[in-house]
Amino acid sequence: MKKCYKFRIMLLIAAVLIASCSFGGQTIQASNKTTKTKAVYTIKKYNKKYSKSGGRVSAQYTYHLPQLKGSSKIVKKINTSLKKGYTMSLKDKKAVFEQAREANNSSYYTYNDQYLTTTKCKVTYNKKGYVSFCFLHEWYAGGVHNSWTDGMTYSLKTGKKLNVADVISGNSKTVKNKIIKKYFSKIKSEDEYARKELDSTKISKFQFYLKNGNVVVCFGPYQPGGGNGQSFITLKGNYQ
C-alpha cells in the first residue's frame, strides 16, 4: 500500500510539472507574437557606405525598418505598409551615392565631406490596440542639411494606417482647425502663405506620432509657407 501511495504521489507531481511546463511554453510563445492590444516587433538596421580610394566625398545610408512579429493578416498588412518607406529610401540612397560619385569626379570639389541619408526609428506608443512609430530623418548632399521627424501609427485591431483625425476628437475638419490654431498659436503669428498651405493640406498628409496620450504633429524639414527647419505641436489624443 505504501509503495502504491508513493507511486501515485510521484505521478501527481510529474503531471503538475508537465502542466506547468506546457503553460509556460504557451505564455512564452504568446509573448512573442503581436496581439490586438500590443505589438511585438523588431527593428532591422540597414547600413551602407560609399567611398572611393583617394576620393574626398563619402556617403552614408542608414535605415531602421520596424517589423511586427506574427503571421496574422493584420501583422502582414502593417508590415507591408512599413516596408514601403524602406523601398522609397533605396531611391534616396541611390541618388545620394550618385551625387557623391559625381563630386569625387569633379575637379571643383576640393574638400572632404560626407553625404548622408538616414532614417532612424523608435516606438513611442504600444498598447491599448495602437502602435506608433516615430522616424528621425537626416539628408545631406552638399547643400542644405535637412533634419525632420514624421510617424506611422496603426490600429492593431484592423491593421489600418491611421490619420491624425483617427486619434483626436472631432471630424476631419474640426481636427484640421485644431492643428492650424495650435500651430499659429505656437509661432505667435499668422502668415498668409502658411495659412493657405495648411488649409489645402489633406488630413491624411499631416505627419504625427502618439506619445503619452497625446498626438505630436510634425512639420518639417520646411515650415508651412516656407522656411527651413522642423517644428512640432502637441494635441490631446482620444485613443486611450
Q: Which residue has the cell 509657407?
A: 225
For residue 232, what pLDDT is reported?
96
The number of beta carbons lying within 10 Å of the beta carbon of residue 75 is 20
pLDDT in tens, the chain (240 residues): 444 444 444 444 444 333 333 333 222 334 589 999 999 999 999 999 999 999 999 999 999 999 999 999 999 999 999 999 999 999 999 999 999 999 999 988 888 999 999 999 999 999 999 999 999 999 999 988 999 999 999 999 999 999 999 999 999 999 999 999 999 998 877 788 899 999 999 999 999 999 999 999 999 999 898 888 899 999 999 998
What Å distances lie between residue 131 and 45, 138, 163, 232, CA to CA?
19, 23, 13, 20
Helix residue spans in 109-213 (DSSP H): 172-187, 192-200
Closest CA to 176 of 152, 153, 197: 197
The Cα 154–Cα 81 span in angstroms is 10
Using the 8-state DSSP alphabet, how is residue 22 labeled? H
What Å distances lie between residue 212 and 82, 216, 231, CA to CA?
22, 10, 19
**Crossing angle (nearest 10°) for helices 192-200 and 172-187:** 160
Q: What is the 3-state secondary structure (H, E, C) of 65-125?
A: EEEECCCCHHHHHHHHHHHHHHHHHHHHHHHHHHHHHHHHCCCCCCCCEEEEEEEEEEEEE
3-state secondary structure at position 4? helix
H/E element, 18: helix 2-31
